Structure 1
Amino acid sequence: MTEANTTLSIAVASGKGGVGKTNLALNLCFALHDLGNSLILLDADLGLANLDVLLGLSPEKNLQDLLGDASAENVVIPLAGDGLVLLPSASGVAELVEMDEDVQSLLLGKLDALFRRYNFLVLDLGAGISPTVLSFAAMPQERIVVITPEPTSLTDSYALIKVLFTQHQIKNFQVIVNMAESHKEAKNAYERLAQACGHFLNLPISLLGVVHRDPMVTESVRHQVPLLKFAPGCQAAQDIREIAKKIMDRRTRLKDLISRSPILKPLI
């Protein structure tokens, strides 16, 4: 009998770039690790990878090497011992950006056993609604959509949710409002997106949390050190830790969902 999966997989997505998605995904992983979880962070921004840049790393191998003879164990980079590791991607590699279903199946086949070793698999996706982004967004068990209060972010995030809902039958979306000047501003932004999804798609979405605008975020990026290590007491770091606790609670409640594979067959 096959042992049930215990990994909760989460795609972190956004309708547009510049909303702080990658930085948020990285720091959520550190927050979850600080709470006693093991995690693998997959840079799924194929072709424009930058998690390694945020960490000041220069990986010798990346996802592209898995299409050859490299094993997954030889590609991952420990970020905090064996309990938090990064699976880096590559920049400017058309083979990854234009990955078809067969190549995705080959890649994920090599990674499935690795994913199952961890409590969480977090995928940092590219922004927008390209076919590869949509495919990777549809595979995990959960999706977090990162928005900011800007109108363009709300419009593009609605487009992302609409395409995933109508073309891939995805119904569960958690929203994080990032770079909010106040809780009121964040609530208004979320409610505008939720109203659009409810009115036009008849689709409820959930607010997972709010991360306030914080100058320490920019400083941590400049120093290439995760915010939770650079300024653990700042407001944004506190916000991220609160969201991490909610994600842990969801993992406990979603045991039936987690029992299936952390990654479904590609849905291109």
Structure 2
Amino acid sequence: MINANKTLSLAVMSGKGGVGKTNLSLNLSYALNAGGNSLLLMDCDLGLANLDVLLGISPESNMQDLLISGTKPSDIVIPIEEGKKFDILPAASGVPELVEMDEDMQEMLFSKISKLVGRYQYLVMDLGAGINSTVLSFATIAQMRFVVITPEPTSLTDSYALIKVLHTRHNVSDFNIIVNQATTSKEAKETFDRLNMACEKFLNIKLKNIGFVRYDPAVTEAVRRQIPFLKYAPKSEASRDILNIAVKIQKIRMENMGKLGDRPVIKKFPDLST
């Protein structure tokens, strides 16, 4: 059975770019893997990939090869932490046709990677920003959705638009919110409350506050050095915050093990956040 490890899939998304979504995806993956979990980090920003940049690596092949030349998924997977089963599935950059994949291409991709992702305990999908069709498709198939926001008003309005589209057009009602770049825990709570209030009032859904990551100069320096901040500054405030979120996710996974078995890894899943 391909899902013997009972894979939990996470989609990390944002309404707008520049909120630190990809960096959080990377460091959250490191935090989950540090807990002894096998993990595949999949770059789902298919036309504007940058996970490889954050890691300082240059993949020889990527998801474009998977879709166009028939390359096997296992041939493009890159081990990130040797001996810890932490791998990355890289995407392509500068390939606009991958940004708006049609349904046939999406189905081809999902069928190709389904057996691969079932070998891991976690699948973390770093989605592109915004509401294009590819982002919405990946967001819909994940078991848990994480929307990364910042205290900026534009982040809140764009995130509300993303949540609204997924809820009204795709019947998705469960969203976990991560507030990034908050100066204090109070600011993080106020930021979450503003978005949650709008969703309760206009969409009749409640968001889940899964945690926050404080603004930390170590994060900026780690990006410059192309090292995950969890490795560069493991005792920093941002690292402690991302570890707290990972602990919550691991608890959710353990509490819902019964829901994770006996089904394909890639499909529309039940809500695990309640």
TM-score (norm 2): 0.94
Provide the C-alpha distance between the structure 2 equivalents of 1:182 and 1:142, rounded to a whole number of angstroms: 26
Provide the C-alpha distance between the structure 2 equivalents of 1:39 and 1:125, rounded to a whole number of angstroms: 16
User: Which residue pairs with 1:30 in the alignment?
Assistant: 30
Provide the C-alpha distance between the structure 2 equivalents of 1:65 and 1:30, rounded to a whole number of angstroms: 26
Q: Which of 108, 124, 131 in structure 2 is aligned with 1:129?
A: 131
Residues 5 and 262, structure 1, Cα contact 8 Å, conserved in 2? no
Q: How many residues align?
A: 265
Residues 46 and 126, structure 1, Cα contact 8 Å, conserved in 2? yes
CA shift for structure 1 position 103: 0.9
CA shift for structure 1 position 172: 1.0
Matches within 5 A, 1:112-127: 112-127=114-129
Q: Which amino acid aligns with 2:96?
A: A
Q: Please tell me whether residue 9 in structure 1 is matched to residue 9 in structure 2.
A: yes
Residues 47 and 98, structure 2, Cα contact 8 Å, conserved in 1? yes
Provide the secondary structure at the position in 2 that maps to 1:30: helix
Provide the C-alpha distance between the structure 2 equivalents of 1:4 and 1:240, rounded to a whole number of angstroms: 27
Residues 6 and 116, structure 1, Cα contact 8 Å, conserved in 2? yes
Residues 144 and 175, structure 2, Cα contact 8 Å, conserved in 1? yes
Q: Which of 176, 179, 183 in structure 2 is aligned with 1:177?
A: 179
Residues 5 and 258, structure 1, Cα contact 8 Å, conserved in 2? no
Structure 2, unaligned stretches of length 5 or more?
269-274
Matches within 5 A, 1:238-257: 238-257=240-259
Q: Please tell me whether residue 163 in structure 1 is matched to residue 171 in structure 2.
A: no
User: Which has the larger displacement, 96-105 or 230-239?
Assistant: 96-105
| C-alpha distance after superposition, 1:12-50 (max 9, x if no partner) | 000001110000000000001111101000000110000
Provide the C-alpha distance between the structure 2 equivalents of 1:186 and 1:3, rounded to a whole number of angstroms: 36
Residues 29 and 41, structure 1, Cα contact 8 Å, conserved in 2? yes
User: Which residue pairs with 1:110 in the alignment?
Assistant: 112
Provide the secondary structure at the position in 2 that maps to 1:31: helix
User: Which residue pairs with 2:266 in the alignment?
Assistant: 263
Q: Which amino acid aligns with 1:99?
A: M
Provide the secondary structure at the position in 2 that maps to 1:79: strand
Residues 32 and 246, structure 2, Cα contact 8 Å, conserved in 1? yes
| C-alpha distance after superposition, 1:105-148 (max 9, x if no partner) | 11111111110000000000000111111111111111000000
Flag the 1:103–1:36 CA change in 2: closer, same or farther, 3 A: same
Provide the secondary structure at the position in 1 that maps to 2:61: coil
Residues 41 and 85, structure 1, Cα contact 8 Å, conserved in 2? yes
Residues 216 and 238, structure 2, Cα contact 8 Å, conserved in 1? yes
Provide the C-alpha distance between the structure 1 equivalents of 2:130 and 2:265, rounded to a whole number of angstroms: 23
Flag the 1:70–1:233 CA change in 2: closer, same or farther, 3 A: same
Matches within 5 A, 1:209-224: 209-224=211-226
CA RMSD of aligned residues (A): 1.4
Provide the secondary structure at the position in 2 that maps to 1:60: coil
Residues 5 and 261, structure 1, Cα contact 8 Å, conserved in 2? no
Q: Which amino acid aligns with 1:238?
A: R
CA shift for structure 1 position 3: 6.2
TM-score (norm 1): 0.96
Q: Please tell me whether residue 91 in structure 1 is matched to residue 88 in structure 2.
A: no
Identity %: 58
